[in-house]
């Protein structure tokens, strides 16, 4: 697609389009040029044509904006090294950044200028923003949290560096074929990444395989060396992270694996040049692809390689920085450095830091352990047993022999402490050991992380409580002072100011503009809930946003949503614990009621479901298929369409959520209580004025606390009740007691939604009716159905509904990631 470029009419600008000038302007030193000048230079650096595709214009604008950041980026680095403030390294296998351009323009305060400039190119800024490919370097909540945190750290003027992996292929793109999920590779770098800067001066090498050997040096110190390793080069690609209107540009440093140049000389000399070169390509595989599992580990060897590669490269980078300034004196290192581990994924950094300090910088074990145990902080993200990482000892011993030795040494010393605390208690020793015995020995990474960290946090009040009373109870007894809670948050820049400009303008009109960097200001909205004009404006904004989403649904799903109907949305990764199935059962119930003519109390609804299933997760994929088939049946009945429309939106990602959450009336947060650690989607919806229907799970508990029971549709068992019920769960009793659920299940069983695919949904029915169903869908169905009736009733009164909506936005201030990061800063990082 090409867009004609209107010739620049300003004569001043015209003069600049000489080859000589353009060449002079191409120098990167051109730091104080205007945005217009930069843009013109990048555009004319194209093929010299006077027509430019949106892709070309996007690239030119992105490069121009990056240039705007370069001087401030350098200044930030100089400032941080000059003032020796505490440096935080946020280590994460995932950063789900989404698009960068709109966010950068907002944070750099370039919006009016950029919009005006785009007129010269006869293109809308929004059209160019749409061209940018999402940086999908994460699965879901955990990766998006890392991205929100980076924005808040920069905006709070903290010196925080994100360390991650530059996956060649990000999160797969999801398509639906006959209602089944099909995965397509995500080559997000195909057109190049205009934001990144490759910085080879930070290259480090990461060792794999080989074996260890020890010797006693002339001073009598026993040194261990790791020999005959296969080394992989780690190359740094830096992405700028601009703070909100504060001139700080932090760094997200993403590592790419490459082959080193040292070839196997023997192979070389034998004339196997091509073979030797080809073999080197194996190194590049490490950072080739993101593992698409959310909340489950897959235990693959390549995944462990990724984890060690990220951990080692990042730590070497930090130590190189330190040694450059302080030499080999690490006595003050912990005072100026802290590493936050985003789940156990990068927890191999713990033995790696021991190795670097002891083997390469020659610290004594105890001194090195002091450094490690004062710099490492661990965030736990889940209680689900299938997500707890355990690496086979055999695999570790083969791939990282020196690291395994260090883990055993850490464990031996730590178990002495356990034995001291619980004398003679062998069971306790086995239960708490970092090494799990059994047919095959495993390393329990969460235990390793707890033992080595000075801080262990959960991500919502309930989750943190369940950690200390359940999963990590023994450790809590041993070290109560390590444990703390940091309830998640989301950045109000992307998730309100940028994604919902009309609501943002309305807020600014009433509250002034300060809410963007201090979201507690939203509280003042409660004063306007009886202001008729304000209510009308609020409704109009929601209506406009629904019209935008309606277009997306039409284009992507070919389903007609009606903006006058209630928009009921559940978008998140597809997982049994998140209970998309409960939602679908309720949809079938509504469908059945409509067909029976029981529509008197019904409120017309459009229901949207979206999310990706892990490619190997059969049940999750079957849930997508059921949602698709039910949507198809519902939408193809003209009578039903008066009351109900259902769509499954393929390829849910950050950019889709930016369209979805501003347009949502009802946010579905219906996980089995005790299973969702926090949730962050719930917060994005709340900020944008959606009312939640939800269980007492994760951060829902705190959202309810803030907004009050009158503005939240609560249902379902509590976490405690779930645990109690599990001991003797009889789903058939709940089915028998609910005519609605009985009908719904028999409708599925009759093949109504699988006429050409007989029996396809049997595994779902088996799961719901099994006493072993950990998600207890049947137990919560009636309570959910009744809560949905309350939703319908409330929606019928537009004034009451709009007041509820306003109160939700007003109460969302506490869920700004600025609040969360201020707590990390004060209570963990002490930065």
573 as an active site residue: the answer is: yes
684 as an active site residue: the answer is: yes
Give yes or no for a contact between 348 and 308, defined as CB atoms under 8 angstroms apart: yes
- Write down the catalytic residue from 684, 807, 814, 825: 684
* Contact flags string 671-690 toward ligand PLP, x per CB under 6 A: --------xxx--x------
- Write down the catalytic residue from 99, 248, 361, 381: 381
572 as an active site residue: the answer is: yes
With tokens 């230079």, the residue in question is: 41
Within positions 251 to 280, which residues make up the interface with ligand PLP, using CB under 6 A? none
Residue 481 makes CB contacts below 8 A (sequence gap 6+) with none
- Least gap, CB of 649 to ligand PLP (angstroms): 12
Within positions 133 to 162, which residues make up the interface with ligand PLP, using CB under 6 A? 140-141, 144
Give yes or no for a contact between 546 and 666, defined as CB atoms under 8 angstroms apart: no
457 vs 653 by CB, closer to ligand PLP: 653
CA dist., res. 709 & res. 269, Å (int) = 76
- Least gap, CB of 628 to ligand PLP (angstroms): 20
381 as an active site residue: the answer is: yes
- Write down the catalytic residue from 256, 463, 546, 572: 572
What are the structure tokens assigned to 640, written together? 């039903």
Give the count of residues interacting with ligand PLP (CB under 6 A): 12
- Least gap, CB of 112 to ligand PLP (angstroms): 28
572 vs 579 by CB, closer to ligand PLP: 572
236 vs 649 by CB, closer to ligand PLP: 649
Within positions 543 to 572, which residues make up the interface with ligand PLP, using CB under 6 A? 572
- Write down the catalytic residue from 305, 345, 486, 578: 578
- Write down the catalytic residue from 114, 379, 468, 680: 680
Orientation angle between helical segments 532-557 and 798-810, nearest 10 degrees: 90
Residue 557 makes CB contacts below 8 A (sequence gap 6+) with 631, 647, 648, 649, 650
98 vs 207 by CB, closer to ligand PLP: 98
Q: Is 388 helix (H, G, I), strand (E, B) or coil?
A: coil
170 vs 679 by CB, closer to ligand PLP: 679
What are the structure tokens assigned to 16, written together? 């600049």
Residue 2 makes CB contacts below 8 A (sequence gap 6+) with 51, 52, 53, 54
Q: What angle do CA 824, 829, 830 make, to 5 degrees?
A: 105
What are the structure tokens assigned to 714, written together? 């609560």
- Write down the catalytic residue from 573, 586, 605, 785: 573
Q: Which residue is nearest to ligand PLP (CB)?
A: 681
- Least gap, CB of 3 to ligand PLP (angstroms): 29
Residue 562 makes CB contacts below 8 A (sequence gap 6+) with 550, 604, 606, 645
With tokens 């990048």, the residue in question is: 42
* Nearest residue to 202 via CA among 251, 250, 168: 251
355 vs 572 by CB, closer to ligand PLP: 572
Q: How far is CA 462 from CA 378, 711, 785, in A?
A: 18, 21, 25
- Least gap, CB of 106 to ligand PLP (angstroms): 17
* SS3 per-residue string spanning 632-652: HHHHCCCCHHHCEEEEEECCC
Give yes or no for a contact between 783 and 120, defined as CB atoms under 8 angstroms apart: no
- Least gap, CB of 664 to ligand PLP (angstroms): 12
Instruction: Tell me how far the alpha carbon of residue 142 is from its chain's centroid.
Output: 4
136 vs 243 by CB, closer to ligand PLP: 136
653 vs 688 by CB, closer to ligand PLP: 653
Share in percent of the chain as helix, strand, coil (round to 5): 55, 15, 30
* Contact flags string 305-324 toward ligand PLP, x per CB under 6 A: --------------------
159 vs 651 by CB, closer to ligand PLP: 651
- Least gap, CB of 586 to ligand PLP (angstroms): 18
- Least gap, CB of 570 to ligand PLP (angstroms): 8
Within positions 568 to 597, which residues make up the interface with ligand PLP, using CB under 6 A? 572-573
Residue 611: left if φ>0, alpha if ψ -120 to 50, beta else—which one? Answer: left
- Least gap, CB of 698 to ligand PLP (angstroms): 8
Within positions 640 to 659, which residues make up the interface with ligand PLP, using CB under 6 A? 653-654, 657
As annotated, the active-site residues are: 381, 572-573, 578, 680, 684
Residues within the interface to ligand PLP (CB under 6 A): 140-141, 144, 572-573, 653-654, 657, 679-681, 684
């Amino acid at each position: 697609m090409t867009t004609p470029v209107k010739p620049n009419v300003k004569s001043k600008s015209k003069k600049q389009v000489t080859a000589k000038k353009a060449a002079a302007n191409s120098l990167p030193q051109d730091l104080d040029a205007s945005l217009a000048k930069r843009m013109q230079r990048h555009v004319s650096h194209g093929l010299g044509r006077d027509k430019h595709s949106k892709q070309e214009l996007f690239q030119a604008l992105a490069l121009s904006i990056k240039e705007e950041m370069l001087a401030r980026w350098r200044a930030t680095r100089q400032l941080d090294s000059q003032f020796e403030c505490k440096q935080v390294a946020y280590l994460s296998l995932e950063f789900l950044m989404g698009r960068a351009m709109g966010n950068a323009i907002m944070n750099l305060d370039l919006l009016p200028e950029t919009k005006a400039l785009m007129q010269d190119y006869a293109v809308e800024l929004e059209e160019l923003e749409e061209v940018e490919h999402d940086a999908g370097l994460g699965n879901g909540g955990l990766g998006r949290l890392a991205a929100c945190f980076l924005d808040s750290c920069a905006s709070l003027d903290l010196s925080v560096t994100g360390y991650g992996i530059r996956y060649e292929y990000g999160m797969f793109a999801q398509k639906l074929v006959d209602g089944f999920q099909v995965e397509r590779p995500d080559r997000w770098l195909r057109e190049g990444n205009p934001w990144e800067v490759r910085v080879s001066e930070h290259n480090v090498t990461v060792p794999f395989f080989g074996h260890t050997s020890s010797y006693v040096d002339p001073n009598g110190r026993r040194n261990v060396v790791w020999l005959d390793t296969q080394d992989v080069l780690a190359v740094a690609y830096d992405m700028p992270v601009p703070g909100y209107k504060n001139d700080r540009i932090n760094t997200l440093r993403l590592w790419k694996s490459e082959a080193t140049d040292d070839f196997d000389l023997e192979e070389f000399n034998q004339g196997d040049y091509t073979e030797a070169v080809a073999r080197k390509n194996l190194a590049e595989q490490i950072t080739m692809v993101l593992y698409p599992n959310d909340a489950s580990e897959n235990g693959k060897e390549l995944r462990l390689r990724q984890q060690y590669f990220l951990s080692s490269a990042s730590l070497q980078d930090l130590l190189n920085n330190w040694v450059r300034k302080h030499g080999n004196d690490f006595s003050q290192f912990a005072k100026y450095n802290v590493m936050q581990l985003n789940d156990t994924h990068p927890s191999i950094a713990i033995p790696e830091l021991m190795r670097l300090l002891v083997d390469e910088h020659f610290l004594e074990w105890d001194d090195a352990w002091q450094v490690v145990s004062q710099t490492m902080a661990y965030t736990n993200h889940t209680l689900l047993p299938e997500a707890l990482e355990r690496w086979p000892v055999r695999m570790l011993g083969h791939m990282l022999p020196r690291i395994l030795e260090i883990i055993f040494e850490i464990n031996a010393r730590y178990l002495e402490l356990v034995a001291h605390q619980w004398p003679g208690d062998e069971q306790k020793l086995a239960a708490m050991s970092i090494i799990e015995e059994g047919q095959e020995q495993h390393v329990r990474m969460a235990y390793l992380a707890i033992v080595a960290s000075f801080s262990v946090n959960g991500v919502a009040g309930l989750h943190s409580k369940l950690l200390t009373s359940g999963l990590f109870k023994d450790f809590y007894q041993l070290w109560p002072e390590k444990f703390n809670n940091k309830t998640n948050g989301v950045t109000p820049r992307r998730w309100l100011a940028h994604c919902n400009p009309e609501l943002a303008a309305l807020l600014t009109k009433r509250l002034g503009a300060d809410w963007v960097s201090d979201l507690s200001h939203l509280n003042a909205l409660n004063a306007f809930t009886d202001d008729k004009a304000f209510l009308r404006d609020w409704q109009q904004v929601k209506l406009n946003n629904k019209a935008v989403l309606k277009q997306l649904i039409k284009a992507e799903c070919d389903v007609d949503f009606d903006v006058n109907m209630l928009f009921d949305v559940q978008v998140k990764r597809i997982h049994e614990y998140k209970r998309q199935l409960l939602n679908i059962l309720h949809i079938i119930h509504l469908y059945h009621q409509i067909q029976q003519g029981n529509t008197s109390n019904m409120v017309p609804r459009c229901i949207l479901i979206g999310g990706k299933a892990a490619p190997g997760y059969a049940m999750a994929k079957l849930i997508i298929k059921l949602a698709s088939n039910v949507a198809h049946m519902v939408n193809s009945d003209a009578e039903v369409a008066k009351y109900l429309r259902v769509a499954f939106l393929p390829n849910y990602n950050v950019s889709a959520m930016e369209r979805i959450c501003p347009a949502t009336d009802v946010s579905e947060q219906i996980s089995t209580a005790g299973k969702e650690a926090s949730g962050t989607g719930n917060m994005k919806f709340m900020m944008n004025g959606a009312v939640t229907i939800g269980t007492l799970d994760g951060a829902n508990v705190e959202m309810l606390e803030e907004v009050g029971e009158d503005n939240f549709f609560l249902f379902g068992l509590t976490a405690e009740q779930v645990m109690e019920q599990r001991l003797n769960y009889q789903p058939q009793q709940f089915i028998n007691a609910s005519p609605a659920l009985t009908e719904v299940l028999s409708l599925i069983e009759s093949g109504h939604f699988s006429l050409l695919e007989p029996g396809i949904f049997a595994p779902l029915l088996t799961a719901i009716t099994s006493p072993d169903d950990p998600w207890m869908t049947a137990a919560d169905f009636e309570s959910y159905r009744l809560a949905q009736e309350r939703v319908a009733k409330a929606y019928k009164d537009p004034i009451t509904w709009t007041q509820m909506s306003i109160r939700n936005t007003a109460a969302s201030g506490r869920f700004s990631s600025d609040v969360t990061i201020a707590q990390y800063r004060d209570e963990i990082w002490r930065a």
